[in-house]
Structure 1
Amino acid sequence: MMKSWDNQYIQGVISLWNKEAVKDGYKELTEISFANIFLSSPYFDRETTFVLLEADLVKGFTCGCTGDDLPLGDVAGYITCIVLSSECKTNENYKLMLNALEQRFQHLGKKQADVLFFNPMLLPWYIPDTPKHEHNNAPGVPLDSTLYPFLLSQGYVDRSRECAMYLNLADFFIPEDIKSKEEKVAEEGYAVELFDPEKHSGVNEMLGGFDNPLWDTQIPNYTAEGVPMVIVAYEGKTVGFAGPVIRQDNGRAFFAGIGVHPNHEGHGLGSILFFKLCEAFQNIDTIYMSLFTGRNNPAMRIYEKAGFQHAKEFSVMRREF
């Protein structure tokens, strides 16, 4: 029996998650983390969240979200998760839960269902072969999950593959050719260093070259609050950034991104920024870094050169109604 969400199912869903979703690498849930990820989200909707019951026991859980302010939100509903107990993991039950989500999306006027990294409900997962080092968001469907082939069978298509990358910072060092590259750009007038409001200006002008609304808000806030930020300066003007440099409580490096203004591309500044960012994290005793990137992204070469290893692969998927 399918039921829309009610808080009476919280313990049943947490128990199901901690038995089944963890098999695909997801981090265990507690009442607090369940509330933070799902119930407290401004995008949580009881009518877009369902449980599958058998003899009043929770055997399945699925959640999606919508929002016109989300990327693609005017046309897309986001699938957050579909979890089934092992004894109920059949195509019929998967279809029951998927159909419930898709029908809700269509009722809300959406034209497609997506599983992708823009989903605001962030599902943390453990990086394989590490002492429970975790990444804060699953960018798609894990390729080694049972959900992935099921979605393919239902007409969902691979739109891209996202590779999760991992670096133990104890093993990091800056190669000599990157040091040489930094010396070369210094001769051209570029300085790669931590942002200092007494020395550097032009943050907003730099951000104007990226067309990234999230960065437009985040980066000036970080620099105004004194959060460390690795930047490229040219004649005192900020023309590139990497950061912020924040060590999370679990030892993971948190950063929003890396960018070089288009007027200053072609000097290798992006790779220098990335290596200096890793060094900055190492200097504040950060334990590890994790990120995800497109399988065919040229930046993959930079990550591998820095010592990052492939940890897991996800599929960004879509079905149009």
Structure 2
Amino acid sequence: VVSANYLSFGYQAFFSGIDALRFDFSPNGSAAANWQTSALIEPGKLPQAWNSADLWRALPANPAACTSLPADWKEASGLLGKVADVGADGASAIGDQLTGPAAVCWYAKSTLVAPVFVARVKTQDATSIAALQTALGKTFGDVIGAYEAKAAKSGDADSGYRRLPVTKRDQGVGVTVWQRPVSALSGTALSSKASFASQLSAERYFPVTLALAHGYLIFSPDSRLVDDTLAVLDKRYPALADTLAPQRLPRTILTLTPSSAAALIEREAGAALPADQEAVFRNASRTHLVPKLHALAHYPPVSLTLPQNLPGSTGWVPVEWWFDRAKAGADPAAAAGVADSPADQPGTEGD
């Protein structure tokens, strides 16, 4: 049993309602012993009963990993008010407009330090949307960015703290995107390919991006993931929901694509172990880690779900593991995650 205090590292405002996780290994009657997973849930702290269906409909398909976060937006607003110049009122102007759980996803095309975050925005009129855009733009400009020694002086840059400017653009009706380049050795884009390369302080940079679109708030240090999410919302890119069984969408809290996860981890491990600096560890990684990752890549996608009905008070609930083996075949119906074969049923963790 693991308390959420040890899992959250102080960030439990972003997944309130989960007090602990439990893992049991025991025999099931005459069958072989297997693992069972449970979560200690506090239903009163779960936003909208932790229904994640809208999130999976907005996120791009084939993630390395995706998880739904039952965020406490009021508490998160308190944290934002402490780190942003907008203060408590400005932070509340953002947090009060967010609803339901959030989601965070990693993709093989990007890096471990640049996932994409998605949250739902409450239904609003034009005036409310305009006020939210103003608050988001100011907050993004305040908290995103680092000192850029080569950045051109402009505006308040004369004070000595230079940053590249924030660009704002409208991408059609109801879509607003903010972006600021931030120099970083671990950035996801090459500085040499940027039109503003002379102002960057490193060989790479993060195109940090925030978008407000069609009732969703989207953020990532990697603009490509925001663009993909916008493409999903515009019906130009397949959604994660297209690969999950429809009846499981509301209760799915985590999904993994082993092939994508293996590719991401292998590339990240290689980047963290340069041949000229970490020859011994790099060789050990190639010998022991890489073969296991290649084996992992052949596993079917897996998703975790909660029961359809949660308890009325704090209590343990089972977490079911679903291995969607049928997706590896050519059956279109199975690929959509709607197969009803034994291979698509829970309780096969040991396979």
Q: TM-score, normalised by structure 1?
A: 0.31
TM-score by length of structure 2 reads 0.29
